Chain A
Amino acid sequence: MTAHAAGASRSLFSVAGLTTRYGAIDAVRAVDLEVGQGEIVAVLGPNGAGKSTILHSIMGLVRPAAGTIVFDGRDITALDTEGTVRLGVGLVPERRRLFKNLSVRDNLRLGAAARRGRGDKAADEQLLFELFPILRERMDQLAGFLSGGEAQQLAIARAIMGAPRLLLLDEPSLGLAPILVEAVFNLIQGLRGRGYTILIVEQNAYQVLEFADRAYILRNGRIAMQGTAQELREEDSLFSAYLGLGGSQPACDTAGAPAPGR
C-alpha cells in the first residue's frame, strides 16, 4: 500500500506508524494516514478494528506505543488532551458524551472554551442555528432530555463551538434510527463547503463513501485498503470482504435525501 493522498491540497494532519497497545494487545498497528486541508476522510472498519483507538491516540486519551502524530506541522504525539483540543483538534466522541445534567446552552458554552480566540464566535453561533434550528428551541433544556437525533446534533454543535481546525467524529451514526443517520450525514456534508476538515470513523461504510473524499479501511488494527471514495465504491466487493460484510450489501441511496438540517 503506497501513500496516496489524492485531492489533498495541503496536508493538515498526518499519522505515521501509529501503534497503540492495550496491555499485550496491539489495538492499532503501524497505521499511516493523512488528511488534507478541507478534506473529508473516513476510517472504516468493522467493530473492534481499532477505529476509536486511533482517535483516542490522536486526542491523547491513550498513549501510543509508537508512531508520530503531526497537526499543522507540529508533533502532537505526546501532547495531552487539553492541549490537543486547544490547538484546534475537536472530537465528537462515541456515544456523544454530552453533559446530561447541564442545559444545551451550558454544553455549547463549554464547547466554546476550546476556541482560544480562534475564528468568529458570533458567525459560528449563527451557523449552528442555521444547521441545527432545533437547538435554538432547546437552549434551556437539560441535554439529558434531548432525543437521540437532537443529542447527536448537540454533540456536533458543541464541537463546532470550539472552532476546530480538524474535526474528528467517532461513529456519529451509532444508535440512531436510519432516517436520523441520514440527517446526521447530511449535516456533516453541510460542513464541507464551510472550510471544515473532517476525519470520520464509521462502521456505516456505504453511506460514508457517498460523501467522503477518501477512506482507509481498517481491519484488525491495520490499514487493509485505502483510496478515494470513488475507487472504493467501485471495488465494492473487495472492500466488503475486508469489512467482513460477507458479500455485497445494497448501498444506501442518498441521492434523494432531504436538504441538510431541514
Chain B
Amino acid sequence: MQLKNRPKISTALAIASCSLLGHSAQVQAGEEALDDWKVDAAIMYYGEEDRVQAVEAIGNVQKAFGDESLLDMKLVVDSLTGASASGAVAQAETQTFTRPSGDGQYQTAPGETPLDDTFHDTRVQASANWAEILSPVWKTNVGVNGSKEFDYFSLGLNAGVERSFNKDNTTLVLSGAYTLDNVDPVGGRPVALSSMVLRGDYDTEEEYRAAFDQTRMEGSEDKKTMDMMLSVTQVLSRRWLFQANYGLSSVSGYMTDPYKILSQVDDTGTTQGYLYENRPDSRLKHSFYMMTKGALDAGVVDFSYRYTTDDWDLNSHTLETHYRYYFSGRFYGQVHLRYYQQQAANFYRPFLMTGEPLPEYASADYRIGDMTSYTLGLKFGQRLSGGHEMSYRLEYYQQNPENNGFDLVGQLQDHDLFPEVKAIIAQVSYSF
C-alpha cells in the first residue's frame, strides 16, 4: 500500500459498504423473487424528411425458472405513416397516379420524386422463446413469433442448439427458422408488369373499374423462408471475444412489392406509362458476419463486418462499431457508427424504355438498387437505483441511392432520380 493512497481506504470502504447494505435491503423486501424477472421497454421514433414517419414501442419480458430455464417474451407495436418512393421517376410535368386500391388518384409536382402517400399501417408482432440448459455444455431454445399488419400476416418457428467447448471458451450454435408469410395487398395483387390504368383515360367509372380489375389478381399469396445459421463465439483473452456467423436463407414465394411501380419512358425521357413491378419468386441468400467485442476499463467496444450475397446478385458490405464510455459508475455515453454499401439486384432498373422488350423481372425500388448508407448515433445511459437503467438514443441515418450504370435519356438528366433519404431515429429505453 502506498502511503498517499491510504486516506482513501476509509472513504472507499464507506462507499463499498453502502452498496452492500443498500442492496441487501431489497433482498429482505422481496426475497429472491425480484431477481427472476427482467423487463426492457423502449419507444422509438423514426422520421424521414418528407417521407415515412414511424413510432415503434417494444417490450421484452424475461422470466427465469430456476437456473435452467428462461422464458423470453416480446411484444412490438408500430405505426407507420407518410409517403415512400413508388419507383416512378421525376418528370418536368405533373404526374398522376392511381392509388393501389384503385379508389382515387394522387399527383406529383414537376421535378419531384413520386411518393405514394397512401402508405400507413399498424403492425403488431409478438414472440416467445424458451431457453433450456440441458447440461453444463448443452443448451437449447425454441421459439414462435407472429406478426400482423393490415395486408400482411407472418408466423414463424425457430429452434437452436448450443454446445460449449474448451472450458466454455468456445461456443457453437446451430439454429434454424421457418417462417410463413401471407400477403393480401390492398386492391389485390397487381398482374406482373401490367400497366397502371388511369381514371382519366376512361369515360365512365364502370369502364375504368373493369380495366383496373384486369390488372389485379384476387386472393393472397404466400412467402416461405427457411433460415439456418451456424455461429462460433470464441473467448480470445480476458477482455476480448470474437464471433463468426454463417447464415443461409432460402426464400420462396411472393416477394414482389405490390405497391411499387416502374416508369416507362421514351427517347426524350418522358414517361409514357407505369408498370407494376415483378420480382423472382425465389431467393437464396448467404451472410457472413464477424464481430469482436472488448471489455475496456471504463467502457466497451465492438466492431463488426458483414458480407451478404444472394442469387439476385445483391451483395452488401456492412461495417459497424459501438463504443461506450462510462463517465462514472452510473452514467455512460455511447457512439454508434455504421456504414453500408450494396450492389443492385440484377433485375433492378430505375425505369423502362418504351420499344424495348419487357424483361421478365423488373423493379425500380431504390432499396434493391446500388446504394450506400451510413448511420451516426449517440446514446446516453443512466443506471438508477435497484438495477434500473434508463437510456436515450439519437441517430442520424442517411441513404444515398446511386445509378448502377443506366443512361439517363432526355429530361431524366434534369431530375434527381436518386435522391438521398435522411432520417432521424430517437429512442428512450427503460430496463428494470
Q: Does A pair with B?
A: no
Residues of A within 8 A of B (CB): none
